[in-house]
């Protein structure tokens, strides 16, 4: 499995998939740059009159529900329709869906307008979507992760999509498989936009391997987490330095590094 993940990661750099991103205004620049560092090509098109066409010609569509305006909501609905028309995979980050009811309604509308390939959120967001009680403070999860694997599998089976929950241990499920990802660093919590950035990397990997969304999601999360581990060895407990070095480490990461450093428990 890890060898396949390594192949997917290297394939992204070879194929340079076009990732159409609609993310929140706090993290636009970081998401664009982290996608570039992964080897893919970002496009931050968000005009409702343009997104439908652009989504059709993209390799993947990444939608982040943070700082969501009415205009961006309309644009996301149009983009999902466009992506579904040509079978482009759609990745959604349901930011703060557990504490802002409107986000739940928007997510339902997105799913009704086209096929969503992957939902990637923190543990509180994923539990909320699965109907399980969780704890959150704004966009941050306070959840301890108990029962997260079951919540991911339940949601994946119900919606027939890949579900990824980030936390101390990341969990990735599809309708019949489960993986626990143990790489990472607590310093991700000391910078703004780590969750948004890893969503962009996941979208790049799914865009590069659209027929393997479960493995591609695992690949993106694992690559980002390994880059974080490598970055903190250089930066120490310095968030500003860590953020910069994270981009460098991801840029230089190769499939062979995933084989050597990934810590993944596979379940089926």
Per DSSP, 114 falls in state S
CA proximity to 170, closest of 241, 255, 262: 262
Q: Name the phi and psi angles at 266, rounded to 5.
A: -100, 135
Q: What is the pLDDT of residue 119?
A: 97
pLDDT 10s digits, 63-118: 999 999 999 999 999 999 999 999 999 999 999 888 888 989 999 999 999 999 99
DSSP notation for 11-36: HHHHH--EEEEE--TTTHHHHHHHHH
Residue 176 sits in a domain whose CATH number is: 3.40.1190.20
Q: What's the structural domain count of the chain?
A: 1
CA angle 181, 6, 126 (to 5 degrees): 30
Mean pLDDT of 45-55: 97
Sign, CA dihedral 138-140-146-149, equals: positive
Average pLDDT, the chain: 93
Residue 141: pLDDT band (50, 70, 90) is very low
Q: What is the pLDDT of residue 65?
A: 95
Q: In what order do the strands lie in the sheet with 264-267?
A: 41-43, 18-22, 60-64, 90-93, 118-122, 162-166, 170-173, 178-181, 264-267
Mean pLDDT of 170-199: 96
Query: Domain limits at 140?
Result: 2-267
Q: Is the per-residue pLDDT at 138 higher than 50?
A: no
Residue 145: pLDDT band (50, 70, 90) is low
Rounded Cα–Cα distance for residues 153 and 38 (Å) = 28
CA proximity to 202, closest of 185, 181, 186, 187: 181
Rounded Cα–Cα distance for residues 148 and 88 (Å) = 28
Residue 152: pLDDT band (50, 70, 90) is very high
């Amino acid at each position: 499995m890890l060898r396949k993940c390594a192949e997917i990661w290297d394939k992204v750099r070879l194929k340079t998939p076009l990732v159409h991103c609609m993310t929140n205004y706090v993290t636009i620049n970081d998401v664009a740059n982290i996608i570039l560092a992964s080897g893919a090509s970002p496009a931050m098109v968000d005009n409702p009159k343009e997104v439908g066409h652009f989504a059709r010609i993209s390799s993947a569509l990444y939608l982040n529900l943070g700082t969501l305006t009415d205009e961006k909501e309309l644009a996301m609905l149009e983009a999902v329709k466009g992506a579904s028309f040509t079978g482009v995979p759609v990745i959604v980050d349901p930011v703060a869906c557990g504490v802002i009811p409107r986000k739940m309604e928007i997510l339902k509308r997105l799913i009704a307008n086209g096929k969503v390939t992957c939902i990637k959120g923190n543990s509180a967001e994923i539990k909320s979507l699965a109907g399980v009680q969780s704890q959150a403070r704004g966009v941050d999860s306070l959840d301890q992760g108990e029962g997260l694997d079951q919540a991911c599998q339940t949601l994946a089976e119900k919606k027939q999509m890949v579900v990824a929950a980030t936390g101390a241990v990341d969990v990735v499920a599809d309708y019949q498989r489960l993986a626990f990802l143990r790489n990472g660093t607590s310093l991700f919590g000391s910078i703004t936009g780590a969750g948004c950035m890893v969503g962009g990397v996941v979208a790049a990997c799914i865009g590069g391997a659209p027929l393997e969304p479960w493995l591609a999601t695992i690949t993106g999360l694992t690559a980002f987490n390994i880059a974080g581990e490598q970055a903190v060895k250089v930066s120490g407990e310095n968030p500003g330095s860590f953020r910069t070095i994270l981009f460098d480490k991801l840029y230089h990461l190769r499939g062979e590094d995933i084989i050597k450093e990934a810590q993944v428990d596979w379940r089926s």
